[in-house]
Amino acid sequence: MARVLLLAEHDGNTLSVSTARSLRCAADLGDVDVAVFGDNTETVAGMAAALEGAGRVLRIDRPENARPVAAIIAPQLAELAADYDVVLAPSSTYGKDILPRTAATLGVPQISDIMEIVDSRTFRRPVYAGNVITTVRVPEGCTIVGTVRIASFAAAGERASPAPVESVVLDTDVPSHTTWVGLEASGGDRPDLQSASRVVAGGRGLGSEENFEMIFRLADRLGAAVGASRAAVDAGYVPNDMQVGQTGKIIAPDLYIAVGISGAIQHMTGIKDAGVIVAINRDAEAPIFEAADIGLVGDLFQLLPELEKALEG
């Protein structure tokens, strides 16, 4: 069996669901060690140890790792990877930031957005907005380094008993030219868009930034994250970190509610793995209805207040 190293994603307190989804992929390739980088990772490491498929959890604690700075974590991950056949990370902002640097340090190519395992060295990944699926193979003797398309894998379940957790000390020299300045998050207390089980998204049909508040209210009723189409972002209704689609975030929630979104192919690429898609649009010919499990044709300014009222009960 191959030795697989999986980079865990976390915020210092909670393990991201992207790690559990990536672990499902990693476990199909071999025996998995989960690497948790941070400053005080005891809690997060315990969460990783509770996941089915985790053979060991490795804690790499040092003050420099307190923040997710790729320039600092990547060289450490590369040193740790020396004993492994496969190195994986979620295809999230975090994984996409760190893994290319790791691959470059190791002097090997990287596979992005692994969506299917063909065999131990062959994988499938989407290109051209998901309209084409390519098959790629890593040459023999080359360490496999790849990001996992988290929308393509179900989250790993819980183990009957936790995996062992070990502390690892790396003497890697880390650079000082890159430092953490701060974090600005627009989502507030709402769930993270890429890992949320429920998402409410708005499009150009809302007409203004002020009207987009209707989406925030509905999301708060449902305990959902908030997304947007590119048209809504380009119109200035919301910031671009909320964009869902080919040039935004690829998501796979259990429930996706699209309000005033026509369903351009670039947007559909980002939501096609959602469990249930609900579309609200006044245009009965909107392309999104072709993919929707539930479609409501009508004026969103009438339907959303009625939906909010129903949720109050």
Note whether 141 and 183 are within 8 A (CB). Answer: no
> 199 is written with which tokens?
């998402």
**DSSP assignment letter at 189:** T
Q: Mean pLDDT lowest for which of 87-91, 192-196, 252-256?
A: 192-196
- 8 Å CB contact between 264 and 248: no
Q: Which residue in this structure is represented by tokens 């890697």? A: 172
Residues 6 or more apart whose Cβ sits within 8 Å of residue 53: 23, 24, 26, 27, 32, 156
Per-residue confidence (pLDDT) for residue 128, from 0 to 100: 79
Consecutive H or E run containing 220: helix 213-222
Fold agreement between 2-167 and 198-312: yes
Summarised one tens digit per residue, pLDDT across range 222-247 is 999 999 999 999 999 999 989 999 88
Is 69's pLDDT higher than 90? yes
Q: Is residue 172 classed exposed, middle or buried when 0-12, 13-18 and 19+ CB atoms within 10 A define those classes?
A: middle
- Confidence label for 190 from pLDDT (cuts 50, 70 and 90): confident
Per cent of the chain over pLDDT 70 is 98
Would you give the DSSP letter of residue 83?
G
- pLDDT at residue number 188: 61
Average pLDDT on 24-51 reads 97
Kind plus residue range of the DSSP H or E element containing 218: helix 213-222
Cα–Cα nearest to 262, from 307, 229, 238: 229
In the chain, what are the domain boundaries? 2-167, 198-312
Per-residue confidence (pLDDT) for residue 213, from 0 to 100? 95
* pLDDT at residue number 192: 84
CATH number of 198-312: 3.40.50.1220
Q: Give residue 210's pLDDT.
A: 96
Architecture of the 2-167 domain: 3-Layer(aba) Sandwich (3.40)
